[in-house]
Chain A
Amino acid sequence: MTTETLTSHAPPETAPRAVRDTAGRRALTRGAKAADLLVRALAVLFLGVPILCVVVLSFSNAEVLQFPPEEWGLRQYRSFFGSDTWIDAMVLSFKLATVSAAISLLIGVPAVFALHRSRLPLKGLLQAIGLSPLVIPGVAYAVALYTLFVQFRLTSNMAALVLTYAVHGLPFVLLILGSAMARLPAETELVAMTLGASRPRAMVGITLRQLLPAIGASYIFAFITSFDEAVLINFLGGPGTVTLPKAIFDNVKTGLDPNITAIATLLMAGTGVVGSLAFLLRRKV
């Protein structure tokens, strides 16, 4: 591997102390380098093998999951597209994620403005509350929400689930948009205003416009979070809210249906595209 580019850039051994470099120390450096390479290789292997596994298995024609597959074909994809249950779950998850991520933005964007551009008191506390869904132990959050859902009879209520997911996606808006906004000098808005623009116009025309990529990235992150949410739904789900992760979980628990490999491959391809977009948008900020 030619990854050790830094060494090639290191100056030739002209420095006086480098000349005195002992063999022992060089061995140490070499050892460290080898260890480093090993860790990297292992990590990439560890991350990559499961992915390859899923993709390979998805092209197996077998009725049971087994590796390596005995017969190749598109059976898993055919039965996925032929199954109402899977398609329904996928469509539901898609709708749910689309709407809830949009609501995350509706709630989050003004909140970020308030948190970064106003003299509101207790901003730190509010920010911390908004971020908490990301850092509180998942199952504790699920139990807490379960109490709410039972109390107010919300378990089959799609709207309640949408709102829950919207709040679940909020941290991404607060983080991504927040850090983007922190990097924007507030004075540009003022400049626009001194040039005659009204405040709303300055806000939309200058600040919001510059924030568009970050808003897009937040949306995508919130979308993926909702689309892929598998813990809360186990506590909060009701009739008509069998999302894709829930359907996969049910499936994995009661039987071994290799269809899920096809779904995972499609997901990787699909979200891969969306995710790269988010990454690019985020970097543009």
Chain B
Amino acid sequence: MSSQRTHASGVKRDRRGRRGRIAAALSVAVAVATVTAACGSDSDSGGGSDTLVIAGWGGSFTAANKEFFYDQFQKDTGIKVTIATPGGGFAAKVAAQRAGNNIEWDLLEAPGGDTSKLVLDGNLERFPESLIKEITPLVADGAIRPGPSEPYYLDHGGTVNLIGCNTKLVKKCPTNPREFWDVKNFPGTRGITANNPIFTSLFALAGDGVQPQQYFPVDVNRAMTALKRIKPNVQVWSTSPAQMQQAVVDGEVAIMQAPNTVLVSAMKQVPQLKLHWDGGLLFDEGWCVTKGAKNKEAAFKFIKWYAEHREAQAKFTEKIYSGTGGRDMQKYLSPEAIENLPINKTGVTLVDGKAGAKQQQELGKALREILVG
């Protein structure tokens, strides 16, 4: 629904403004062409058959992807990798690019909560049968997502939002969302990750006693009431990983719900930090190829290359504790790393991204009212 509105505002036009727009378009074209000529053609990104444009988050996640995948891929295949860092808003930006019929990005680097939105909007390229056949033995069961009938992305970059607890600051740690919400029996300042309304709402539902099977469709009222109840005890509503990490390291929050990537990274400075996987929410995301991408062949080639390099995947995971889609990854990872990964953990739910994406707008607005209002 909402995406249609996005499209419409870019496409549907009334007639009155057309002449003005043509004049404007001409001016833009002339101006841009002049400068392009003046600058030389080094501004040309994408296009040729031997390039691959990847859109990512920037920062440590993209840096790790570059270190373990992109650089080596470029060396192995001669395909030049260009990285863009929109840093979020992938679904809206891809929708805008498609509406403007100018798809800039070929491959999306695990676009988080936007992954399912992209699927719903029909903005992703379906994996070709040949690719699926080739990679199936190399990737974990269910890694090609969201399901066998809809092969749109390959599991990568998955993180788990789970409960962490600083035993230096509190004696009794909540071990699941219900206890997290029980501020009387488990005192301590809290931090909640609030950069994805779906995850925050699901965590609130779990805290209110809802079973994972009943998460969707989200009972918005119930989730928001639960959040309102705990708000006085929440010191930090983090909107970026760095923010939460700092709050944990500084001891600003004693009990927090945060991505395992953040918590493991914080453990280096706060060894007393304990993780509790029960009620953990696993992100449903992965490598996506944009619908109509200029270099989609290169993008699929990359996905195949990625599946074939499980050692590189293991190194990636050990560096930033993000999951990968490879089969039997425990054989490649060190036992210490597995300890802090969602491997062999009970109580972790893979979030139904599609169901979440349907309510993203509604939940986003409601959460804003709770946080700011």
Which residues does A use to contact B, with CB under 8 Å? 64, 85, 99, 103, 148, 150-160, 162-163, 234, 237-242, 246-247, 249-257
Please name the 7 residue pairs, one residue from A and one from B, whose CB atoms are nearest each other, closest first. Answer: A250-B58, A254-B59, A158-B43, A239-B84, A153-B102, A255-B60, A159-B35
A239 and B105 contacting across the interface, CB-CB below 8 Å = yes
Of all chain A residues, the one with the shortest Cβ separation from B36 is A159
Which residues does B use to contact A, with CB under 8 Å? 10, 25, 28, 31-36, 38-39, 42-43, 45-46, 53-55, 57-63, 66, 82-87, 93, 96-97, 99-102, 104-105, 240-242, 245-246, 249, 265, 268-269
B43 and A151 contacting across the interface, CB-CB below 8 Å = no
Chain A residues near B83: list those with CB within 8 A: 239, 242
A239 and B53 contacting across the interface, CB-CB below 8 Å = yes
B28, B85, B246: the one contacting A250 at CB < 8 Å is B85
B10 and A253 contacting across the interface, CB-CB below 8 Å = no
Chain B residues near A237: list those with CB within 8 A: 84-86
A256 and B246 contacting across the interface, CB-CB below 8 Å = yes
Q: Say how far A179's CB is from chain B's closest CB, in angstroms.
A: 28
Chain A residues near B38: list those with CB within 8 A: 99
* Pairs A–B under 8 Å by Cβ, sample size 25: A103-B35, A150-B96, A151-B10, A154-B32, A159-B31, A234-B87, A237-B84, A239-B46, A240-B43, A242-B58, A242-B83, A246-B85, A247-B85, A250-B57, A250-B58, A251-B58, A251-B59, A251-B60, A252-B242, A253-B242, A254-B87, A255-B245, A256-B242, A256-B245, A257-B59
Chain B residues near A158: list those with CB within 8 A: 36, 39, 42-43
Q: Say how far B166's CB is from chain A's closest CB, in angstroms.
A: 17
Q: Say how far A88's CB is from chain B's closest CB, in angstroms.
A: 10
Of all chain A residues, the one with the shortest Cβ separation from B33 is A159
B240 and A163 contacting across the interface, CB-CB below 8 Å = no
Q: How far is the CA of A253 from the CA of B89 in the complex (A)?
A: 14
A253 and B58 contacting across the interface, CB-CB below 8 Å = yes
Q: How far is the CA of A150 from the CA of B9 in the complex (A)?
A: 11
Q: How far is the CA of A167 from the CA of B60 in the complex (A)?
A: 33
Q: Given A150-B99, A250-B57, decide whether A240 and B82 contact each other with a Cβ distance below 8 A.
A: yes
Of all chain A residues, the one with the shortest Cβ separation from B241 is A254
Chain B residues near A238: list those with CB within 8 A: 45, 84, 86, 104
Of all chain A residues, the one with the shortest Cβ separation from B60 is A255
Of all chain A residues, the one with the shortest Cβ separation from B320 is A255
Chain A residues near B242: list those with CB within 8 A: 252-256
B104 and A159 contacting across the interface, CB-CB below 8 Å = no
Of all chain B residues, the one with the shortest Cβ separation from A150 is B96
Q: How far is the CA of A64 from the CA of B105 in the complex (A)?
A: 33
B39, B45, B54: the one contacting A156 at CB < 8 Å is B45
Chain B residues near A103: list those with CB within 8 A: 35
Chain B residues near A150: list those with CB within 8 A: 10, 96-97, 99-100
Q: How far is the CA of A176 from the CA of B303 in the complex (A)?
A: 53
Of all chain B residues, the one with the shortest Cβ separation from A88 is B83
Q: Say how far B316's CB is from chain A's closest CB, in angstroms.
A: 15
Chain A residues near B66: list those with CB within 8 A: 85
Q: Say how far A149's CB is from chain B's closest CB, in angstroms.
A: 9
Of all chain A residues, the one with the shortest Cβ separation from B53 is A239
A159 and B32 contacting across the interface, CB-CB below 8 Å = yes
Q: How far is the CA of A234 from the CA of B84 in the complex (A)?
A: 11
Q: Say how far B114's CB is from chain A's closest CB, in angstroms.
A: 16
